[in-house]
Chain A
């Protein structure tokens, strides 16, 4: 096995020939990057764009304030008739409605995930232009399977977490680069049968976003 590694690396080097190479970092820095990095929308327009994109994906969107967040979450859950709801470990307790009986993620088995009515998490960053929510699976975001197996996902997004462009999103995520990460842009879909887009093959079919201003 070490021989194969050396053999492949040797083949690469000889394929590249004897041309002198500068330091990779120097060559890397010379890569032209004239694409858009920073967004140009003001914060309100950015939020509106984000919400519009979410609605395009049939995401159910509710706006609320910090003070009303717990009631809003309760209202959404009751509205869908959800009773068995798992809350991600590490969620700040003050955001959850007191009178709702959440199952703790750490107490939930795989069967519980399959059988529950939904989950509640926060996220790390959201990208307006593409309608994307990014989880880095830290406190309050749940382990990866939490947002995968159940059928409904309620995600709390704070307005200040919303950036406009993908490069801005990646910049915010850079410090979490070694974390597991999941980018969610609408419910899962397939177009594999006659190019008809069908939602919810695996993964939650229903996404609720509560935007906190």
Chain B
């Protein structure tokens, strides 16, 4: 089984990856600006949606239901899509999916494809696999064009080039599109991309896309987008191949009424995004006459098997959790070392990989809960993070790990009054070499991480319980009540 989630199996720990990103002032400014803008817009459209909480509840319930019957709905989708002229393939893992898609492209005689942004293809490393087979994959989302031409990787699920500003984009376009006089005005940059891509849309015979939703009862596929490149890739080529995680399926066409209200507001702060496309199999005389769907497992069945973490698969890839996360705000997506970043990335990445990689990711959170508050499908991300931390400790940590030993010692202290009070006294005595004028500024070992940026007040002369004991003895305690009250 070769399950793959972008480059996460070889990525450095979050702490390590974060260091150079924290130094990048440009990046940090861009991320703050971008996330502030999207959050503000989201706030406005959510505030005017008086049934927002009811929509979230319904969406969460629909997803939970679908997962409970996932086999049923996937089979139903396959049947309906096939009856409408589509062909459905099943891929166990990344290699499987890449093999199927590469084979299909070769079958139709293509050496290039046009693509709509799909996180799923980044997860499996599709572009690289196609490249190895001599097939060039042209990204067509403006941000993905920026990323691809700039030889970079995406740093956000929805706005992948959020870490680049206009002059950086101009430099990339000038060089790679051969436009020496290009200005850095966003309108001009966009016009350059429009022109560059139009040629590709009209020429390339095979399109590759993902899927926002697979509709089981009709066999339909729904793509949600803003730029129109989606519509181009979905209608102009002769052949269309969609690669979709098995969790993308929803039971009915009607269920779109819930998700189409939640997704645009959560992702880009709009009541509705510019274009939604829905098609079912093959439509005679309109659009691609060959349509293939590759249903991808790649570790999702593992997530499904963990009842406490199964809710991870509710995700509709809106990116709202990234935009609100105070940790993501500081580093952007590259710190997570995965195709999926932010709070959702922190829980989905290690799970797909059976906790063998990405073990630092569940700890890349202060458990503030802001993500859960904004998640349109009510994934309780903090709960899942805590659960995954438990798995890391139980499955990956050695009993001799210094942290594990310290935690065991602390547990022993907390389970006995005598030991607790002894530890308090010991701390008070033992701290003296470290205390200067009532403060500690330089703690040893792991605790040094605290004093690198914070002072710590010395343990006071008297703990609360010692004060309480003394006060009880002196008899100066008791409620202040008027005479007569008991």
Contacts and interface: CB of A to CB of B under 8 A. Distances in A.
Direct touching of A and B (C-beta under 8 Å): yes
Interface of A: 1, 4-5, 7-9, 11-17, 21, 24, 27-28, 31-36, 53, 110, 114, 127, 129-132, 137, 143-145, 148, 166-167, 169-171, 173-174, 177-196, 198, 200-203
B155 interface: no
Scoring A24, A36, A179, A193 by chain B CB atoms within 10 A of each residue's CB, the highest score goes to: A193
B274 A188 contact: yes
A25 to B, nearest CB: 9
B95 to A, nearest CB: 12
Given A114-B198, A189-B226, 15 more contacts: A8-B246, A8-B297, A9-B74, A12-B71, A24-B69, A34-B51, A177-B218, A179-B283, A181-B279, A183-B260, A188-B275, A193-B169, A194-B165, A195-B38, A201-B226
Given A12-B304, A201-B229, A192 B161 contact: yes
B278 interface: yes
B92 interface: yes
23 contacts: A4-B96, A8-B246, A12-B71, A31-B61, A32-B58, A36-B54, A130-B271, A130-B272, A131-B271, A144-B286, A179-B283, A180-B277, A180-B278, A180-B286, A182-B275, A185-B273, A190-B190, A194-B30, A195-B34, A202-B231, A202-B232, A203-B227, A203-B232
Given A24-B72, A177-B218, A203 B253 contact: no
Interface stretch (B83-91, B105-113, B329-337, B460-468): B83-91
A148 B235 contact: yes
B329 to A, nearest CB: 14
Contacts of B277: 144, 180-183
Interface residues of B, number: 96
A1 B272 contact: no
A174 B189 CA distance: 40
Given A148-B235, A193-B142, A202-B197, A188 B228 contact: yes
Contacts of B69: 21, 24, 27
B92 A7 contact: yes
B256 A170 contact: yes
B146 interface: yes
A177 B253 contact: yes
B55 interface: yes
Contacts of A145: 235-236, 286-287
Interface in B23-51: 30, 33-34, 37-38, 50-51
A131 B51 CA distance: 18
Given A148-B232, A180-B286, A34 B146 contact: no
B305 interface: yes
A14 B307 CA distance: 12
A116 B62 CA distance: 44
B301 A11 contact: yes
Contacts of A137: 283, 286
A174 B253 contact: yes
Nearest to B145: A192
Nearest to B306: A15
A188 B90 contact: no
A169 B261 CA distance: 12
B286 A177 contact: no
A139 to B, nearest CB: 13
Interface string B99-143: 000000000000000000000000000000000000000000111
Contacts of B485: none
B275 A16 contact: no
Given A28-B65, A148-B231, A201 B58 contact: no
Q: Which 4 A-B pairs have the closest CB atoms?
A: A203-B228, A202-B228, A15-B305, A188-B228
A88 to B, nearest CB: 12
A144 to B, nearest CB: 4
A174 B297 CA distance: 30
B226 A188 contact: yes
Contacts of B11: none
B275 A4 contact: no
A145 B237 CA distance: 11
A210 B258 CA distance: 29
